[in-house]
Chain A
Amino acid sequence: MKISGKVFKFGNNIDTDIIIPTKYLVLPSLDEMARHIFEPLRGENFSAQLSPGDVITAGKNFGCGSSREQAVQCITACGVKLVIAESFSRLFFRNCINNGIYVIQSPSIPGMLSERDQVEIDINACEVKNITSGITAKFEPLSDFLYEIVQSGNLIDYFKTRKSW
């Protein structure tokens, strides 16, 4: 599987209240919620800049804070299928996997990506290629069990293919 798109870059300790502020959690649909993604940091129209295939990268402890899965689902709703960070909060990591987002945890790769760089990620080859800068790096793949859930698109779909859900 290959993913290619633009990079959107964030710093350390980006919490779930920043990804989707509390006050929007009551909005009835994910699409409405997703319009407010990263609003405290990037203002009101950030979601319009995201296209399918784009990649979000962050520093340490990405997604810390609450267990609100809407944070991850809003990212999915914007078409983002892959996130790269130096490290993740446990809940956010788990929620990404369960919603079909591929997760790359790497101390060095976020540092070789800048805002709006064009990137191509080859998941089978475990390779991130920064088209803009020409730099390529290898990453540690997810375990087979977790990758199967990601490939199913969702934990529930994963179960469906195996059980009578």
Chain B
Amino acid sequence: MGMTITEKILSHAGGKKHVSPGEIVTITYNWLMSNDATTHVSINMWKNKVKNPRIFDPGKIVFVIDHNVPAENVKTADTQKLMRIFAREHNLQLYDGEGVCHQLLMENHTLPGQVVIGADSHTTTAGAYGAFGSGFGSTDIVAALHEGTIWVKVPETIKFEISGKLKSYVTAKDLILKMIQYLGAKGATYKTMEITGDAVKDFSVEERITLTNLAIEAGAKNGIIEADRKVIDYIKGIRGEPLPEYTIFKSDPDAEYRQTFTINLDELEPMVAFPHTLDNVKPLKDAVGTKVDEVFIGSCSNGRIEDLRIAAHVLAGKKVHRSTRLLISPASRRVFKQALDEGLILTFVKAGALVLNPNCSVCWGACQGVIGKDEVLLSTGTRNFRGRAGSPESKIFLCSPRTAAVSAVTGKITHPGEFE
């Protein structure tokens, strides 16, 4: 029986010739990422519970301070300090305020065929390079730091075949929201979402990243897209040549899939996730006219340069509506600098947007842009759970960067195809 990309990566990382869904394998990871939302939990466990602490391979560990940047109170500051000291003591790579962890892994570390484990659910992002990425809890992270390996159950795979072409005002975000609507918030639990088809080959790498980033929101263990020339060129464009060794795995023609869905992009319209669950996805037209107090463009989901270009294109020569606030946070310092070089930041500032430092920002709702009681947030972020961005009595709608930008101008949720 043939294998899927994910099965091939896991069998390779587990030193096996073949694996099948349901099998438990212990795999060697290439990268272990942990950020300031939970690292202090792992460090305390490391100090108090592990008798002979030893990091298996410090060169594979990436620490990122990105969730509360800059620190908004003393408790956060102390938590982050703990992380800085630990990283220094153990000679670990530490990114401090340089961007959102998943973005930094994609810019600087992940390669096709690799295994990325992260103490953060959106580690599924790695799949856009044909790598296996999945989120784990703090205890798993402590064990993995020590062992250099982690156990996983080989997941079954759900395949999405994407055909057709996006309309000018529809984006990859609308597609992944549509996919989550198909599956529901738990439809892919314990499973892989493999996204394939000619349309995905046409997608830019950054569009693909938006897809795999949100695979977890359907419950998936990982999301994956076969790597190609575009991926390699994209990575080289950021890191330069030569790249370290990598492997492009492809699913076998006789690989087994639990389910196959087909989506034709010709028919796709903009989508919105209504409060308070990700799978409460409806066509954007159902939300049109909803007044928005705050709009956020950024996050590991939609804070890359292509997203900012879309927003700047909409906002050029326009003003943010006077009853709405627009907050924009580039996903990394690199993206921020590129947006400066391209003049996008000037466009945002002229339009009246608040441009924030790269971090998880409003999507995480702890240090920036918190919303009050009964307020409505329209966000390109990753989650719309009750109270995630502030008051438990607020509402969060999730959408594409294009929908977010046009709605910031009109002050209400607006269809990007009907703007101007």
A interface residues (Cβ-Cβ under 8 A, vs B): 13, 15, 17-18, 21-23, 25-28, 40, 60-61, 64-70, 72-73, 87-91, 94-95, 98-99, 145, 154-157, 159-160, 164-165
CB distance from B361 to the nearest CB of A (A): 13
The answer to whether the Cβ of B189 comes within 8 Å of any Cβ in the partner chain is: yes
Given contacts A89-B219, A98-B139, contact A67 B387 (CB under 8 A): no
Residue pair B139, A99 in contact (C-beta under 8 Å): yes
The answer to whether the Cβ of B146 comes within 8 Å of any Cβ in the partner chain is: yes
A-B contacts, 5 of them at CB < 8 A, read A28-B78, A40-B387, A67-B135, A87-B186, A94-B140
Residue pair A91, B136 in contact (C-beta under 8 Å): yes
Chain B hits for A21, CB < 8 A = 387
> Which of B73, B119, B138, B366 has the largest count of A CB atoms less than 10 A from its CB?
B138
Residue pair B137, A72 in contact (C-beta under 8 Å): yes
Complex Cα spacing A13 to B185, Å: 8
Residue pair B121, A156 in contact (C-beta under 8 Å): no
CB distance from A86 to the nearest CB of B (A): 10
Complex Cα spacing A90 to B219, Å: 7
Residue pair A156, B68 in contact (C-beta under 8 Å): no
Q: Classify the interface of chain B: helix, strand, loop or mixed.
A: loop
Residue pair B135, A91 in contact (C-beta under 8 Å): yes
Given contacts A15-B385, A157-B49, contact A67 B137 (CB under 8 A): yes
Residue pair A68, B38 in contact (C-beta under 8 Å): yes
Nearest-CB residue, chain B, relative to A61? B186
Chain A hits for B68, CB < 8 A = 26
The answer to whether the Cβ of B284 comes within 8 Å of any Cβ in the partner chain is: no
Nearest-CB residue, chain A, relative to B277? A13
Q: Which of B120, B146, B189, B221 contacts A159 (CB 8 A)?
A: B146
CB distance from B114 to the nearest CB of A (A): 19
Nearest-CB residue, chain A, relative to B75? A26
Residue pair A95, B139 in contact (C-beta under 8 Å): yes
Given A15-B277, A26-B76, A40-B392, 9 new contacts (CB under 8 A): A17-B388, A28-B75, A67-B135, A87-B186, A91-B121, A98-B140, A155-B143, A165-B50, A165-B52
Given contacts A94-B136, A159-B143, contact A87 B385 (CB under 8 A): no
B interface residues (Cβ-Cβ under 8 A, vs A): 24, 37-38, 41, 45, 49-52, 68, 73, 75-76, 78-79, 118-121, 135-140, 142-143, 146-147, 185-186, 189-190, 219, 221, 277, 364-366, 383, 385-388, 392
Complex Cα spacing A95 to B45, Å: 14
Chain B hits for A17, CB < 8 A = 383, 385-388
CB distance from B251 to the nearest CB of A (A): 22
Residue pair A69, B386 in contact (C-beta under 8 Å): no
CB distance from A70 to the nearest CB of B (A): 6
Chain B hits for A160, CB < 8 A = 51
Residue pair B146, A91 in contact (C-beta under 8 Å): no
Nearest-CB residue, chain B, relative to A39? B392
Residue pair B52, A164 in contact (C-beta under 8 Å): yes
Residue pair B189, A61 in contact (C-beta under 8 Å): yes
Residue pair B185, A67 in contact (C-beta under 8 Å): no
Residue pair B385, A60 in contact (C-beta under 8 Å): no
Chain A hits for B137, CB < 8 A = 67-69, 72, 91, 94-95, 98
Chain B hits for A25, CB < 8 A = 37-38, 366
Residue pair A155, B140 in contact (C-beta under 8 Å): yes
CB distance from A20 to the nearest CB of B (A): 11
Chain A hits for B388, CB < 8 A = 17, 22
Residue pair B136, A64 in contact (C-beta under 8 Å): no
Chain B hits for A89, CB < 8 A = 186, 189, 219
Given contacts A23-B366, A67-B120, contact A156 B190 (CB under 8 A): no
Q: Which of A91, A95, A156 contacts B49 (CB 8 A)?
A: A156
CB distance from B182 to the nearest CB of A (A): 16
Chain B hits for A66, CB < 8 A = 37, 120-121
Chain B hits for A87, CB < 8 A = 186, 189
Residue pair A165, B185 in contact (C-beta under 8 Å): no
Q: Which 10 interchain pairs have the tightest Cβ spacing?
A: A69-B137, A61-B186, A95-B137, A98-B139, A67-B135, A69-B138, A26-B75, A17-B385, A67-B121, A40-B392
Q: Which of A65, A69, A88 contacts B38 (CB 8 A)?
A: A69
Complex Cα spacing A69 to B121, Å: 11
Chain B hits for A64, CB < 8 A = 185-186, 219
Nearest-CB residue, chain B, relative to A62? B186
Residue pair A145, B24 in contact (C-beta under 8 Å): yes
Given contacts A13-B185, A13-B277, A25-B37, contact A65 B139 (CB under 8 A): no
Complex Cα spacing A128 to B119, Å: 34
Complex Cα spacing A70 to B143, Å: 17
CB distance from A42 to the nearest CB of B (A): 12
Chain B hits for A164, CB < 8 A = 51-52
